Amino acid sequence: GQQLNQSPQSMFIQEGEDVSMNCTSSSIFNTWLWYKQDPGEGPVLLIALYKAGELTSNGRLTAQFGITRKDSFLNISASIPSDVGIYFCAGQRGNTPLVFGKGTRLSVIA
Amino acid sequence: NAGVTQTPKFQVLKTGQSMTLQCAQDMNHNSMYWYRQDPGMGLRLIYYSASEGTTDKGEVPNGYNVSRLNKREFSLRLESAAPSQTSVYFCASSERTSGGAGEQFFGPGTRLTVL
């Protein structure tokens, strides 16, 4: 099946630092989504991207749909303790179901 | 507006027992999905229903069956539970009418342990 490579797998950062994570694929996608999962909860949609090159922000979060349509990036500025969680990317190709990355586990040190 | 609800939240089964996980959404979405989440594996699609009356296999359908009872409800059944089915199960829904997904909304999950 289709694979999404999400990196890094985990990261430990100091409060106030900026965070960058990305997702890559060997296939082209026409939709990229970024989700966050808090411990013991279901994933929550953060940002949806529908056009190559699109840059979208949601508060301190910014995500970009790569020009090649094979990658996407998520940045978090000035991290705070509540940013802790697992961040998932997901891509969709045509009318097929979403494909999810394995997640980036973010830990914030106060 | 509760979004996506799942019952039960926790369940322990013995090998060979059967059970049904329930999911309901109140957003009038056409498409519904069942995923399992295992450590380090991300979310893997078990089955989905693009619209009422249709169901399709996902990446890991073996050992499961589903029923799209109506537009609101989509259940997942384990006929004979195995320890390999120990996992966290998530239901999701979206408004897309095709087999595609778009913006999916997730329930809180069911944590299943099979002994």
Q: Which of B42, B43, B101 sits opposite A92 (nearest CB)?
A: B101
Phi, psi for residue B100 in degrees, rounded to 5: -75, 175
pLDDT digits (tens, 9 = 90+) for B45-61: 999 998 888 999 999 99
Q: How far does B81 lie from chain A, in Å, by closest CA?
A: 23
Contact B12, B23 (CB under 8 A): no
Which chain A residues touch B58 with a CB distance below 8 Å? 97
Report, in angstroms and rounded to the nearest whole number, the Rg of chain B calculated over CA atoms. Answer: 13
Q: Tell me the average pLDDT across B101-112.
A: 89
Residue A101 has pLDDT above 50, yes or no: yes
The overall longest dimension of chain B from CA atoms, in Å, is: 38
Residue type at position B72: R
Which chain B residues touch A97 with a CB distance below 8 Å? 33, 45, 48, 58, 99-101
The Cα–Cα gap between B33 and B105 comes to 10
Q: Which of A1, A41, A45 sits opposite B103 (nearest CB)?
A: A45
The Cα–Cα gap between A19 and A14 comes to 10
Q: Which of B99, B105, B107 sits opposite A97 (nearest CB)?
A: B99
Residue B26 has pLDDT above 90, yes or no: yes
Q: List, in order, residues 6 or more apart from A55 with CB less than 8 Å away.
A: A62, A63, A64, A65
